[in-house]
Chains A and B, each alone.
Chain A
């Protein structure tokens, strides 16, 4: 029998410590929608999404009501569109019609975002992949809910440097198309190394080709809960610290497990994974950087930050795997800058640099995330930053990503407002020295030696 103390603890997590289910994401395979007639593909895609996900919003609301736990987002991920549109699309503009269809379908079922306007090009690009990538600036500019991701590298295949070079240019085009809104569309575009097939988080969610017809993935978050729990063990040794994080992660993941099971049952769609990620929001107390400070750093970015983050990430995973049979690959901590008030404070105090953030991405869930950089950063420099991040993922056999926002017309010292959950970000300085001759070499970086396991 539950006790009053336990009930109060749970409700406090929700009411005061911003515990929430960040997203219920339905992954939908669109492989059956493929046709050589573009109009037909668009019809198929719209019908498929609006049929499978028709009850998404209704069910999410019911679960929120039944358990008193907020479910912040309803999302959809689909099979990478480069595969779906390949047979029908003859030019980049043809792919854009599919982006519009995704946008409309997401709106029709009440989904906040839809991911999967994607291409997987870690070794090479097909004609369709390249057309899709070239269509990204127009697609993101003309739609509201569509998110795009490109997998550029993997431990097994190496880094596709031709695609890395192309993405530097594409990112600047996306920035330019939305320059009147602080280049905000760049938030909807992320590049990956070792992209997971079942990621429920945006902008990187897509429904991998290894997945079933449809699947429910759930993302839970709760940096505030971890921070609060750690306040009670100030000055204790590492064993106590780790134990506290693990126990808290366990409790938070259990909520996700319950929500995922219920959503799966009520929607009649099998359960995929729970992803427990400490994903911050600009709300006070909902910050990963604040956890690092609670662990003992003056600011995130101080010496010791990488070690503290490595420990945090590992304990979150350890607590999470006990709580659910199917834990997603990204579980850990996200360290976006703009979405985390504590991280913004670090940047403003001069405590954290891009280089330190890069080091931190070696030991946390993802990568350079939501980082605003000067709009006059050359495309080759952006490609160089992406290549560095891809190399970290490739060599360390982990997922890494880059979601950079070159803000056209702004530079170091300026601040950009993204609004709502996305917060604001001070523009961070980028190393001024050129890597153009490196990036402009053609071809790919081979897979590392430890990928030869067969």
Chain B
């Protein structure tokens, strides 16, 4: 549970968003457990559940890297520990 992280990507749809993010995750030992995506009000929305247990970087660095990767692609990328969503939406 401690190592489960939710990555969300929100922005204008473009070619290669998932590819670039997954490449980064693979290079840094982050395991992807689940991917969901949808288009909400014309915006690309993606959520990934990943496991950072075997990651080669610490969580803070991964967050920063993903954020700057998002800036390059032109989308907003956020990584948050899963607990906040579980706490809020599950009794």
Contact = CB atoms under 8 A, between A and B. Distances in A.
Interface of A: 1-4, 6-11, 65-69, 251, 254-255, 257-258
Interface in B49-91: 49, 59-60, 63, 78, 80-90
Contacts of B36: 3-4
A69 B45 CA distance: 20
Nearest to A262: B83
Contacts of A3: 36
B8 A258 contact: no
B83 to A, nearest CB: 6
Contacts of B63: 65
Nearest to A19: B88
B60 to A, nearest CB: 6
Contacts of A11: 8, 78
Contact of B88 (A8, A65, A68, A254): A254
A66 B45 contact: no
B40 A8 contact: yes
Given A1-B34, A2-B89, A255-B87, A8 B45 contact: yes
A65 B60 contact: yes
A65 B63 CA distance: 9
Given A2-B6, A4-B38, A10 B45 contact: no
Contacts, number: 58
Given A10-B88, A255-B88, 19 more contacts: A2-B82, A2-B90, A3-B36, A4-B36, A4-B38, A4-B45, A4-B46, A4-B47, A6-B85, A8-B45, A9-B89, A10-B89, A11-B8, A65-B59, A67-B81, A69-B84, A254-B87, A255-B84, A258-B84
Contacts of A258: 83-84, 87
Contact of A6 (B40, B46, B60, B88): B88
Contacts of A8: 8, 40, 45
Indicate the member of B80, B81, B88 with the most A CB atoms within 10 Å.
Answer: B88
Contacts of B34: 1
B11 to A, nearest CB: 13
A65 B88 CA distance: 17
Nearest to A68: B80
Contacts of B86: 2
Contacts of A254: 87-88
B90 to A, nearest CB: 8
Nearest to A256: B87
A1 B60 CA distance: 24
Contact of B89 (A6, A66, A68): A6
Contacts of A4: 36-38, 45-47
A110 B47 CA distance: 35
A7 B81 contact: no
Contact of B85 (A7, A65, A257): A7
B83 A251 contact: no
Contacts of B59: 65-66
Nearest to B85: A2
Given A1-B34, A8-B45, A66 B87 contact: no
A200 B6 CA distance: 30
B12 to A, nearest CB: 16
A85 B40 CA distance: 60
Interface in B11-48: 34, 36-38, 40, 45-47
A3 B86 CA distance: 10
A68 B78 contact: yes
B81 A66 contact: yes
State the 3 A-B residue pairs at the shortest beta-carbon distance, nearest first. Answer: A68-B80, A67-B84, A2-B85
A3 B59 CA distance: 22
Indicate the member of B84, B85, B87 with the most A CB atoms within 10 Å.
Answer: B84
Nearest to B90: A2
13 contacts: A2-B86, A2-B89, A4-B45, A4-B47, A7-B6, A10-B84, A10-B85, A10-B88, A66-B59, A68-B84, A251-B88, A254-B88, A257-B87
A68 B63 CA distance: 10
A6 B38 CA distance: 13
Contacts of B78: 11, 68
A68 B81 CA distance: 8
Contacts of B37: 4
B35 to A, nearest CB: 10
A49 B33 CA distance: 44
B46 to A, nearest CB: 8
